[in-house]
Structure 1
């Protein structure tokens, strides 16, 4: 198990503060479980991205707009949870007034980057 490694090796780590809390093998063959604390400053977007597995998240602090392809836009307040399906493009925007801090667990393919940027989906 890896503890407290700042900036996991994925695309989002280039624009947001991300701290990997733990990274362990899963009981699901070919999958790892990665837990990450992400901090999004006020007015900053994550950028459209995907994950190679489920993201199960919880907003610790702040107010965040979560846009998920083919789903209604969510406004998450501290204490709200969310689930994003594998490979689904999404984008988080911190609405303020405080830094958004979210704790996410990813059930991802072994050796795949936890996050990869994608183009913004066409409006529907």
Structure 2
């Protein structure tokens, strides 16, 4: 019994590493740093905060989230394309609210690195990023 638990744990760790590697391969020029993940006072919801750094010209995959996102541009210039809306370019110090389930992408349109602080209020236990075709 103990051996099967150890094997299961090892497989989960390896599988998590492969999934992370695959996500990074899709996001060339983009680095995500997880900062906070905490349960909220509302059952089934959590707050997640991450820093996302974009190299010049880097573009995220088209994706959505299982909850709301507030994006705050820390440095540089990022263009956001929300499904059904005209693109909007934000500069350091500007924010954008992205409703739950809305497909979107972000692109660094400046000459240098761009960074955002993304705060999510999402369904607990669901993938934070849902790729959209």
Instruction: Give the one of 109, 113, 117 matched to 2:123.
Output: 109
2:22, 2:72 → 1: CA distance? 17
Structure 1 runs (4+) deviating above 4 angstroms are 9-13
Report the counterpart of residue 88 of structure 1 in structure 2. 102
Aligned to 1:78: 92
Instruction: Find the partner of 1:29 among 34, 43, 46.
Output: 43
Name structure 2 gaps, 5 residues minimum.
Answer: 1-18
Matched residue pairs, number?
111
Which structure has the greater CA radius of gyration? 2
Structure 1 residues 10 and 85 mapped into 2: Cα distance closer, same or farther (>3 Å)?
A: farther
Correspondence 1:5-84 to 2 at 5 A: 13-14=23-24, 15=27, 16-84=30-98
Root-mean-square deviation (Å): 1.8
Contact 1:59–1:102 (Cα < 8 Å) also in 2: yes
Change (3 A) 1:46 1:91: same
Q: Unpaired runs of 5+ in structure 1?
A: 1-8, 120-124
Q: TM-score, normalised by structure 1?
A: 0.84
